[in-house]
Every structure is written in structure tokens, then in C-alpha cells.
Amino acid sequence: MAVAELGETVSELRQAYESGRTRSLAWRQAQLRGLLRLLKEQQETAFEALHEDLGKHRAEAYRDEVGLLMKSANVALRQLGKWMTPEKVWVPLVAFPATGQIVPEPLGVILIFACWNVPLGLSLEPLIGAIAAGNAVALKPSELSPCTAKFLAENVGKYMDAAAVKVVQGGPEVGEQLMEHRWDKVLFTGSPRVGRAVMAAASKHLTPVALELGGKCPCIFDMMSSARELQIAVNRIVGAKWSCCAGQACLAIDYLLVEERYLPVLLKVLKSTMKRFFSDADAMARIVNARHFQRLSNLLKDKEVAPSILHGGSMDAENLYIEPTILLNPPLDSAIMTEEIFGPLLPIITLKKIEDSIAFVRTMPKPLALYAFTGDAKLRRRIVEETSSGSVTFNDAVVQYAIDALPFGGVGQSGSGQYHGKYSFEMFSHKKAVMKRGYLIELTLRYPPWNERKIALMRHLYRFDYFGFVLCFLGLRR
Amino acid sequence: MAAAAAEQLRESFSTGRTRPAAWREAQLRGVLRMATEMETEICDALHADLAKPRTESYVQEISQVKSSCKFALKNLKKWMKPQKVSAGVLTFPSTARIAAEPLGVVLVISAWNYPFLLSVDPVIGAIAAGNAVVLKPSEIAPATSALLADLLPRFVDGSCIKVAEGGVPETTALLEQKWGKIFYTGNGKVGRIVLSLAAKHLTPVVLELGGKCPVVVDSNVDAHVAAKRIAVGKWGCNNGQACVAPDFIITTNSFAPKLVESLEKVLLKFYGKDPLQSPDLSQIVNSNHFNRLSRLMDEEMVSDKVVFGGQRDELQLKISPTLLLDVPLDSAIMKEEIFGPLLPIITVDKIHESFALINSMTKPLAAYLFTKDSTLQDQFENGISAGATIINDTSIHLTNLHLPFGGVGESGMGAYHGTFSFEAFSHKKAILARCFIGETKARYPPYTPEKLKIVKGVLKGNLLAMIQAISGCPRGA
């Protein structure tokens, strides 16, 4: 998109917002219903786009993107009235008569940058929040998922208010040009490197940003108490790694920590489960493009790392397919253990005691999610209290994403700002403090000229010591 | 030195000593004792820095700090308790909760106009949330900065709460370190620098900035009462050097003379015939700002619009309460945040015209409206975006700890006070606990149409689909 055209898009959005029409409940509901219709009527086209971009199976596309979006839009529709209602707050007697409220208002014009791995979900989930909060929105899908970007560009304007909700296609240069403009908030989902650039660009206009970044999500795997539980746990781990866009997901398990004596049992079940799940190559998404394929290939080819490949490791450059791969104890300073993997490679690190996993995790930057499979209540408590991460999930992985009541977001290097459910509404709102007073009572002790007596009176008032205040006022106490 | 301080605090924090409620309560009580026992010393420092009247020092700074401590002490256990939430049906059976955890080591950069309050109040929030803190007081209020550097270590745990004094180089060195959060109070120009430096480490920030806080005065109010409330919010707040002080007034042509007359009467009562001699008026903080304000007043199209006041004493750095009538909208005094005792009054034909004028400027920290007309009140609330909107008073919302205090747009990002302070310095960690009772085979590959049907049903909230899912349907997959 040309620079001038981009400028026009931004001013159209601003005009749409300033016209005031995005504020009404009716408008917001209409957009959400439009979005639901889009997802229903264009569902097959959406599946095709996701398959084209990532080789995503329609089941995964529904489970992780389309289905979740429909659920979120419905939740927003149901709760919107409640979210929009001002919250009354307590006002001290000394201000009588007075009322206090916190009133949510839209921020104005929002810019959402989506990542390529969950291209529909990471565009539309924030969009739901921005619209519910009454803003005008520009959506910039990733150019690395071009079919989905095109799908959004062709359909969003048809099902929603095209003057107030716009899709901008293009690559990093378009992203940079967009950031030259003033926005009322920017949400960026992607890598920390680009996150820094977005935040730096936003500083020029004092634009607040929310960053959904990634990190190395660890999975602490303790002994399970039965074979059945072990199998279920492994199902969930395999699902959370390779069934999530082939591990290209910010919430996917990055690496596993397990006691060395438990390793053989774990490996046996892992391998059999992987075989069962991925007997059909169609069941796993492919690597998004040649650059990422190369990146992952380099992680494996690293001289120090290659010997630790335990299972899998085969690669098909033409089809951008990497076999689900397990590594055992690669060197901790190798790239595969210092960078976010974002692919179908699972390093397993063995420890003497599972409790050592806590110290291990603390040496790494704070991840978006931390997973632990354990029935040990003490270990669970220690994990919650001694580690920090966006979220913690026990005995499962990735599913926390689907729960509307839980805020989704990172901390430290994994990001700032949270959304999903009402947190989406709040992310794109300003909570305005409103106080109304009347003229019935006038406390003259507020005003200069000041003296000791007035200070004494105020001391009582500020302690809400009304009895003392009255005595002091009557001259019966200092 | 900045790097060493940050590293030291990181070590202290990693020992876990700031986490227990007992530690946090001890620090909060320490701050409360400091504000109580050292009241005289604090007032003296504020008087040295700003000639701040003792009443303002007590009421606006010390008393506010004490309220904050007490509020935090009262609510701490509640804030620290994890909040159970409904996990819903999708992950049934499971339990979900949200637990607040500290961000780690945080940096608080304070301003010069309320140098005690704006240093200690954010620190209270940081401590309540279980963080280690570095406080950088403003060097433009040197007496208060030195006092804080001396006092805080005596009343709180110096291994986790430190004061770093200094000017621009020291502040920049601090900003280049990695923090869990940066809390900055000041102006938009430096706010941008803070944000760009924070970007390097992906540090989240709270920016408490300023703006031109407008006061719209309708003609249906008692001019005298309105004048008093405006005057105390303007000149009774550090002589106009406050981020929420009324910056300018908009009123109707017809009401303006009455309002000006009331303001003059009120000012005479508050500060006497010779305001420069009144002990109840703060000084301008330094000669830089004194000259800046003089320039605003002396601008060509502005100087003849002064209708009251305008007296200056360069030696004492005092400027008297000054009213100006209908200065040009493109003058400097109407384009910059005044932050001083000059109050321009802009007149319009109809009171509604004030909205367009306010919306042509950047969003302020607070917007005030004096009116008895409830329709106008609603229109103001809906049509004006600001950090806060107050009807029929000025500045008082600061004392209500149940209201978030912060800006929007150019006036800042983030908020604090009360629970909002605790939240500003916390990370809300989502915790989900599942078990092995049910197993949803439908989640996993190999994918089949039957599985997809069940997944669709579950996501739509279909009860039968949920039962099927949890009992491991479809069989044999």
C-alpha cells in the first residue's frame, strides 16, 4: 500500500471514530454479529486459507482459531452491556453530597499487528476486544500468512463497518509506515526483536502498547502415579507441541524437564503416542516458509546439538516438513536452548531431582506459559511462588488459552498487557474516574487563608474521625 | 552505579524477602511512621524547595501518603489472595485462579512539584505488590530529595528499597538498566524518552504526565462557590504548579464578568491585598520556570489581556494569582501547559462551544465542569475524554483512593492510587489446574469428522458434545 493511501486509511479511521458512531452498544453488537456471520459463512474459505498458508488441518483450524473466535465473540455479545456499565465507587462522607464512578471509554483508533502462526485468531481475537470497547480499528495481518491476510482483507469490510474497521496488507515497511502515525493503542503479537522496534516507534507519539511475545515455555514433567495418567499426560504434551501449528506457537511446549530415572518410561510412551497421532503426515502443519525452515534446520545441524537427536530429525525442504523430533540434553548454551524454538523440535533436559527444575527455569527469561505435570502439591506451590511466567498450567498445556476468565499475556520478556474475555475490553479502554459534587454543603476549612485550627480540623477529617472533627469544630478539642 | 544498584536489588529480590505479607506490612508501617514522626522535617524541606505553605504540605502530601499507607495495610491481604475464577466448561473438570505476583525490581522517577507525595505514593504501591524499588526523586526539589535519601533507609528495609539522587545523567543511567516496571511522573517530552529507553528492555511503564486541564463554567451556578473551588484547585495547589490544577477556564460571554468579579473577591480573601507577601502562596520552583511563566504573560497579544494580578518578585520567585481574559487561542499560554498561577479565561457565545475547543487539544489529565444542568453533565462525561472528569469541583478526586488516577493520550498511560497502585506493580498470573479424570480424545490427531463434530459441539457449549468429549469419544481413535 502506498504511503499516501496509508495516510488516508488512518484519517478515515480517525474520522469514523470522531463521528461517534463506534460508541453505541448497537454498533458494537452489530460488528460482533457481523464477525460471527463471517466466521460461519466463510468458514470453508478460512480453512482453505489456513491450509494454504500453514498446511493446517481443518480440525486444528477450527479447534484453535475459528471455533475459539466464535466462542469469544459470543461471550463479548453476552457480556458487553455489563462491561460497558460504569462502576460505582465509595465516596467519603466529607465530600457529601457526591458520587464517584469509573467509566470505561474507548481509547480511539487501535492498531493490531497479528503474527503468522495463528493468523486468524491473533487478528480477530484482539479485534473483538477493540470493537467491544468502542474503538475504530486497523488490522495488519502478517505477510508471512498471505492467504489469510487476503481472506481478512476481502471479508472484514463486507461483514463489518468498513469505514471503522480496516485491514492493511503488506510487509515490514508497511508496518513501519503505520507506526509513523499516532494511534491510541497498539497491540503487537510477534517476536521480542520486532516488539522493541514497535515500542520505540510508539514512544514518539506516547502511544501505549501491549506486547504479546513468546519465550521458551518449559514443561516440568514429574512422575505420574499410573500408566493411565502417564498416557493422558503424554497425549496432552504431544498435542501441545506438535498439534499446535507444528510447535510454531507462543504457547507450545518449548522444552521438557524430567528426572533422569524417569526418562526411559517417558520416552517409550512419547514415541508410541507420536507415532499414533502423526501416522498421517497431513495431521501436522508445515513450517511456514523457507527462512524458518532454514532456521530450524540450523538448530538441528549445530555440531554440538546433532548428537543429541534421539528421535526424528528428518527434513523435507521442498514440502517444508520437519519430522517431530526429540533431542536429549543438548548443550545449554546452544541456540536450541537459548532461543525460542518455534518448531517441531523438543529438547528433553534431565535432572537429578524434579525440584531442580525450579532453579533451571529461573535462569531463563520469564516465559509466556509454564507447564507442570505433577500431583505433588508442595512442588506445585513452589512452582507458583518461585517462578514467574505469563501463566501456569498444571497437568495440561495450551488449553488455558480457551478460558475467557483467565487473562492471557506475558511478563518480562514474554510481553506486557493481557487480553481475552473482559481483559480484551479493558485492554482497549480507558477507565475514566468521574466525580460529581453538589452545592449543598460547603466546607470552608478547605480554603486559604490557612491557620492551625483549619489544619487540626483537617487532621480529624482525613482520619474519618467525624466525632473528633465535631468536637474540634466546637472548640472542645484541639 | 545505577547498574550496581539494580543488580544488588535483583539479588535481594531473588532471595524472596519482599514476598511475604509480613515484610510488606513492615515497610508500609515504616513509611507511615516516617510521615508521622518527621512531619516537621518534611514540611521544612517542602518549604525550602517551594515555599509550600504548611497546610498544603500536610493536607496534600503528608496526609495523602498516610492515607495511602493505611489503605494498603488494610487491603493487603485481600490483594494478595488469589482470586478464584470460573474455568468454564471447556476444560471441565479444572480449577482456575488469578494470583498477583511482583514484577521484580522497579524504578520510580518522581517530579518536583509534589516531591514528597509523588515519590512515596508510587513506592507504597510497589512495596505493597512485593517488589524491590529504586526511587529517583527530582533534583529540582533538592531539599526533599536529600531528605528522602536520608529518611527512607531509616524507616524501611534498605536492602530492597533504595533512593538514588542525581540529575539528568544519573536518571539516564538508571533508565538504561533493565527493570520490571518504570513509573514516571513528569512531562510529555521526558515521558517519550522514558518510553523509548524502556523499549530496549521491553519494560512496561506507567507515565503520569500533564496537559491543559480545562474548567468549563456554566452560567447557572453560584459564581462565588465556583470561584472558591476553582481558586483552591488552582492557587491552593502549589500556586498552579500541579498536573491537575485548572489550566484555563471556558465560560459564556454573559457570565464572564460575574465569574471574574467572584474570582477577584475570592483571591482577595485568600491571599490579601498583597499576595506576594502571603505565606499561603507557594513560590515558583526556580528561575527557569519563573522566566518561562513571565514569557507567557509578556507575549505581545497576551500582556494586554491581564485583568487581575500580574505582580512578580524575581528575588523571591513569586508570581501573584493572575487572570487573563480572552487571550488568542494560538498564543503560547494557550498551547503549552501553564503549570503556574496564570489563569486564562476564554469566552464563548454558547457553553456547548467549549466542547469543540477542548477536543481540539490533547486529552488532559482532568477536565472540570461547573453546572447544574444534568444534560450538560452527561454530554460532558460522554463527549470529553480525559484522565478524569469532575463535576462542580476541582482536584478532589485525588483523595478518593477508590478512583484510578492517571491520564490518557498525551496525559499519560496507566493509573494508580488504592488498588490500582497494587495492580500497577503486579503481574496477574493465570493459573489453571487440571486433572486426569476425563480425557478428551477428540482433541488429538489423527483427526476425523466425528472428532471435529465433537470439538465443534464443545466450543459451542453443547452439553451432549461435552459429555461425549469427556468420556473419551469417539471410541477407537
> What is the spatial distance between Cα B444 and Cα B447, in angstroms, rounded to a whole number?
7
Give the global pTM.
0.96
Give residue A123's pLDDT band: very low, low, confident or very high (50, 70, 90).
Answer: very high
CB neighbours of A38 closer than 8 A, spacing ≥ 6?
Answer: A155, A156, A158, A159, A160
The residue type at B190: V
Third-level CATH fold of B2-209+416-428: Aldehyde Dehydrogenase; Chain A, domain 1 (3.40.605)
For residue B477, pLDDT over 60 is answered with: no
- One of A60, A65, A125, A212 is an active-site residue; which one? A212
In DSSP terms, B431 is beta-bridged to A392, B97
Which helix (DSSP H) or strand (DSSP E) does residue B430 occupy?
A: strand B426-434
Interface check B58 vs A, CB under 8 A: yes
pLDDT class of B166 with cuts at 50, 70, 90: very high
Residue A463 has pLDDT above 90, yes or no: no
- pLDDT at residue B439, rounded to an integer: 82
* Contact between B209 and A206 using a beta-carbon 8 Å cutoff: yes
Does residue B321 have a cis bond before it (omega within 30 degrees)?
Answer: no
- Measured between alpha carbons, how far is A431 from B424 in angstroms, rounded to an integer? 14
Note the pLDDT tens digit of each residue in A418-438: 999 999 999 999 999 999 998
Cβ contact A228–B391 (<8 Å): no
Separation in Å, CA of A323 to nearest CA in chain B: 15
Query: Which one from A115, A219, A245, A250 is the annotated catalytic residue?
Result: A250
What the block records as the C-alpha cell of B189 is: 517530552
Listed range (A206-220, A327-341, A463-477, B105-119) with the worst mean pLDDT: A463-477
A8-12, A99-103, B329-333, B449-453, range with the lowest pLDDT = B449-453
Q: Do B188 and A206 touch (CB under 8 A)?
A: yes
Reported ipTM: the value is 0.94
Every domain of chain B and the residues it spans = 2-209+416-428, 214-406, 443-471
Query: Would you call B392 and A389 a contact, using CB atoms and an 8 Å cutoff?
Result: no
Spatial contact of A216 and A364, defined as CB atoms under 8 Å apart: yes
Model confidence at A477, pLDDT cuts 50, 70, 90, reads low
Cα–Cα distance for residue pair B35/B161, rounded to 1 Å: 16
Q: Which amino acid is at B444?
A: Y
The verdict on whether A250 is a catalytic residue reads: yes
pLDDT at A461: 74
Enter the C-alpha cell of residue A94.
466529607
Residue A365 has pLDDT above 80, yes or no: yes
Q: How far apart are CA A444 and CA A458, in angstroms?
A: 11
Per-residue model confidence as pLDDT tens digits over B415-464: 999 999 999 999 999 999 999 987 888 888 888 888 888 888 888 888 88
Amino acid present at A369: A
Classified as helix, coil or strand, A445 is helix
Beta bridge partners of residue B315, listed in sequence order: none
* Tens-digit pLDDT profile for residues B255-268: 999 999 999 999 99
Determine if residue A108 is left, alpha or beta; phi over 0 gives left, psi from -120 to 50 gives alpha, anything else beta.
left
Within a 10 A sphere around the Cβ of A11, how many other Cβ atoms?
12
Average pLDDT on A131-157 reads: 98
CA–CA distance, A298 with A307 (Å, rounded to integer):
14
Q: What is the mean pLDDT of chain A?
A: 94
User: CA-CA distance, A266 to B160, in Å (whole number)?
Assistant: 43
CATH dotted code for B214-406: 3.40.309.10
pLDDT of residue A473: 73
Q: How far is CA A58 from CA A63, A114, A194, B82, in A?
A: 8, 20, 30, 38
Question: Shortest CA distance to A134 belongs to which of A463, A432, A416, A370?
Answer: A432
CA atoms within 13 A on the CB side of B292: 14
Q: Mean pLDDT throughout A79-87?
A: 97
Cα–chain-centroid distance for residue B397? 11
Please give the backbone phi and psi of residue B109, each rounded to the nearest 5 degrees, phi first: -110, 125
Q: Which string of b and e fits A287-325 if b means at least 16 CB within 10 Å?
A: bbeeebbebbbebbebeebeebbbbbbebeeeebbbbbb
pLDDT tens readout for residues B14-54: 999 999 999 999 999 999 999 999 999 999 999 999 999 99
What is the radius of gyration, based on Cα positions, of chain B? 27
Q: Which three cell numbers stand for residue B13?
A: 529480590
Closest CA to A202 of A183, A219, A177: A183
